[in-house]
Amino acid sequence: MKFIYFLAGLLLFIFLLGIAMKNNALVELHYYLGYTWQAPLSLLMLITFSLGVLLGIIACISSLIRQRRRNMALERELKALNNTVQSAHY
């Protein structure tokens, strides 16, 4: 199974490397106040994708923390119920 993951990762890397090689032309990114930045298109695509992933993770953090707290509270409640059931049997 590890070999299949390695092979899929290698193929994906080669595919993305080919896209980066084909899209190496310089593009200009225009900011406010007349600032510009020239960079290869593949670099700008990588930065944009990375920022999107980062913003998606940040957007999910609050719900993940809330779910984790709720899960811990339910686990404590389950332990308390198990303790009362076990003590009632003795």
What is the model's pLDDT at position 77?
A: 93
User: pTM above the 0.75 mark?
Assistant: no
What is the model's pLDDT at position 5? 92
Q: What pLDDT, on the 0 to 100 scale, is given for residue 90?
A: 63
Instruction: Give the type of residue at 59.
Output: A
pLDDT tens digit at each of 90 positions of the chain? 888 999 999 999 899 888 888 878 899 989 888 899 999 888 888 899 999 999 999 999 999 999 999 999 999 999 998 888 777 766
**In this structure, what token pair is assigned to residue 19?**
């896209």
pLDDT attached to residue 87 = 77
How is the chain split into domains, by residue range? 2-89
